[in-house]
Amino acid sequence: MFFSILLFWICICFIIIQLKPKRPKNFPPGPPTFPILGNLLNLSLENPLGEFERLRKLYGNVYSLYLGPNPAVIINGLNAIKEAIVTKGHDFAGRPQDLLVNHVSDRKGVILADYGQSWKEHRRFALMTLRNFGMGKNSMENRIHGEINFIIKSLEGSIGDTLSPQVMFHNASSNIICQVLFGTRFDYDDTFIKTMVHCFTENAKLANGPWSMLYDSLPIIRSLPLPFKKAFKNAEIVQALVHSILAEHKETRVPGEPRDFLDCYLDEMDKRKDDSNFSEDQLIMYSLDLHFAGTDTTSNTLLTGFFYLMNYPEIQERCQQEIDKVLEGKEFVCFEDRHNMPYMQAVIHEVQRIANTVPLSVFHCTIKDTEIMGYSIPKGTMIIENLTSLLKEEGQWKFPKEFNPENFLNEQGEFVKPEAFMPFSAGPRMCLGEGLARMELLLIMVTLLRKFKFIWPEDAGEPDYTPVYGVTLTPKPYRIKVELRSTE
């Protein structure tokens, strides 16, 4: 009997040892793993950023974790991130393909698509089409200024009172990209825009939240009726909305005379009748990718910007002095005016740095056996860029832990951009919408600061600078008090 029990426990121990993930030879170091769970117990599923920093101090700028049975390498700091996504950008340009976000998007679109011929062709098409529709040109500026007028109306209706800016900034950012994609804007109380913003906001929180991490790490739970199912439902809702717009476009378009991104893609499909990579299903997810990327990041950066400017009134006032001087006699700000606004440029870039809107970027994956900082990384390994480590790295910034525009000014007060400033990532997978985002931030912030003074409400208590964690970081909901400025 004794030997039977002993044999039983020996078998159990053997099975546990076999289930425990083992790091390959010369793989980055990391904490000890547990059977099946890997390192999930080492992380806060609600917000792992603190643990990532703690593990960085223990294991260095390149270390590994096991999310369930799957290895992931976390890269931190300028040198490691630059080596991975710039110097060896091709090696690290893949995307993991067995995560919640991939399954929700049915592995279509451009952001999460794996690195291959289809992705390259779609990215090339997107860059060309966005450029043709005025990215960085006057036509895009006009679209943005047109939307700013609706923001101004919302703010003018609350002079002397307080309002919540969250929905306003989300809707404005959404409408700007909607004009590019669909050739139209929507009233702020329109069902389309309210539903799109709601579904995207909810999925952004789900995608990097605890249920997503469990879904990615433990495939056995994927069929269970757990909260991650909501992400699939939201995806179905927004796909149906875009499908209805696409159906209307197909009826009203004139081939060869595109009005917007959808028309351009349909023209491209006509040219590629035998190319299955270009399809209506792909177009719908492609549009949703660009809509999400063009809405959530920009709106959350604006929310962060005005949150800090209210609580640093001396910085807000210095911005307004520069704006008044540069724009004297001009009706509108244009994107080229940024070259005469070094302090405003510094403030906008500092807002982007401190907002850290996409703290873990979008996960990468190695497409071949490669190396980073002397460690061997097998093909197919998930790579997580910890942009938090980069945007707050000691030695790269004058004031890494505080909000201070001096991080982007030299001794002569001229605007400079440190090498560690990579909020849009870099390399082959660099954000498609960087040009549009930069233009939106400048035109919106300058126009609003020129016309209004933003004040932290007296009854709002102490500001809470802790962001809400998700795929994108966003400030906790807050209210603003608005006053008209006198520019006498």
295, 177 in Cβ contact below 8 A? yes
**324 pLDDT exceeds 50?**
yes
CA distances from 227 to 200, 202, 221, 230, 478 (A): 16, 11, 11, 6, 27
In tens, the pLDDT along 270-316 reads 998 877 788 999 899 989 988 888 888 899 999 999 999 999 999 99
The per-residue pLDDT for 77 is 95
State the Cα–Cα distance between residues 487 and 207, nearest whole angstrom.
45
The per-residue pLDDT for 1 is 54
Of residues 133, 177, 119, the one with CA closest to residue 365: 119
Share of the chain above pLDDT 70, in %: 94
**247 pLDDT exceeds 90?**
yes
How does DSSP assign 179-207, residue by residue?
Answer: HHHHS----TT-HHHHHHHHHHHHHHHHH
Q: Which amino acid, residue 408?
A: F
Label residue 117 by pLDDT band (50, 70, 90). confident
Mean pLDDT of the chain: 89
- Its pTM stands at 0.90
Average pLDDT over residues 358-382: 94
Of residues 239, 447, 414, the one with CA closest to residue 324: 447
In tens, the pLDDT along 397-440 reads 999 999 999 999 999 999 999 999 998 888 888 888 888 899 99
Label residue 468 by pLDDT band (50, 70, 90). confident
| Least reliable range by pLDDT among 129-138, 250-259, 306-315 | 129-138
The per-residue pLDDT for 427 is 87
**197 pLDDT exceeds 90?**
no
Label residue 114 by pLDDT band (50, 70, 90). confident
Average pLDDT over residues 22-48: 87
Within 8 A by CB and 6+ apart from 272, the residues are 278
The per-residue pLDDT for 6 is 44
The per-residue pLDDT for 473 is 86
The per-residue pLDDT for 344 is 98
- Six token digits for residue 83: 């080596």
Label residue 488 by pLDDT band (50, 70, 90). very low
Choose the most confident range, by mean pLDDT, from 189-193, 205-209, 238-242, 358-362.
238-242
**Domain ranges for the chain:** 2-484
Q: Helices H, strands E: what count in the chain? A: 16, 9
Average pLDDT over residues 82-96: 94
The per-residue pLDDT for 375 is 97
State the Cα–Cα distance between residues 72 and 365, nearest whole angstrom.
9
Average pLDDT over residues 228-256: 94
State the Cα–Cα distance between residues 305 and 292, nearest whole angstrom.
20
Q: Which fold has domain 2-484?
A: Cytochrome p450 (1.10.630)
The per-residue pLDDT for 134 is 61
Label residue 40 by pLDDT band (50, 70, 90). confident
Average pLDDT over residues 44-49: 80
| Residue of 46 and 79 predicted with greater confidence | 79
Of residues 112, 474, 65, 91, the one with CA closest to residue 307: 474
